[in-house]
Amino acid sequence: MTVSIQAADFDLSTEIAALRAGNPGVGAVASFVGCVRDRNDGSGVSAMELEHYPGMTEKSIDAMIDAARQRFDIRGVRVIHRVGLLKPQDQIVLVAVSSAHRGTAFQACEFLIDYLKTQAPFWKKETTPEGARWVDARVSDEQAMARWELSPAGAVLERAV
């Protein structure tokens, strides 16, 4: 399984071992783990709740992985994104990429996390001292989008559905 949207936490070493298993051509694995911070936009955050549209979110991430496979010579990919109630320091997301060489693994991993962060359809509710607020989990990162020649999030969603 390449993409998992789940409430449960994940174990990095288990996921990396599975990504490498049975592929002697793997010479490098690059990974990114995102965690819940205790602050966002100048406010304290005591919790966040992530939601998604089942089926649509996975399809969007699969399209992102297909784009990465077209750009980079990668052997394997694993993306896990958690949903539900999360607290500061909880893991939110894992992107791991295997390839024959480190440069490719690093580039593909960076491409995938930039794409995931700016394009994937997730919504979050942050619990702050001022109260709860729903926000689009996608961030506007024009520099990342330009570096990879990505379209605005809406265009990706239309293609993915």
pLDDT digits (tens, 9 = 90+) for 72-108: 999 999 999 999 999 999 999 999 999 999 999 999 9
Q: What is the DSSP string of 50-95?
A: EEE-TTHHHHHHHHHHHHHHHHS-EEEEEEEEE-EEE-TT-EEEEE
What is the value of pTM for the model shown?
0.87
Q: Which residue has the tokens 């909880």?
A: 90
CATH architecture of 3-160: Alpha-Beta Complex (3.90)
With cut-offs at 50, 70 and 90, classify the pLDDT of residue 161: very low
d(CA 29, CA 27): 7
d(CA 104, CA 31): 12
Q: Which residue has the tokens 């500061």?
A: 88
Non-local (6+) Cβ contacts of 142 within 8 A are none
For residue 8, give the nearest of 65, 100, 81 by alpha carbon. Answer: 81
pLDDT digits (tens, 9 = 90+) for 20-58: 999 999 999 999 999 999 988 788 999 999 999 999 999
Q: According to the model, what pLDDT value does residue 68 have? A: 96
Between 15 and 155, where is the model more confident? 15
d(CA 49, CA 47): 7
Where are the chain's structural domains?
A: 3-160
The CB density around residue 75, as the number of other CB atoms within 10 Å, is 19
Q: According to the model, what pLDDT value does residue 72 have? A: 97
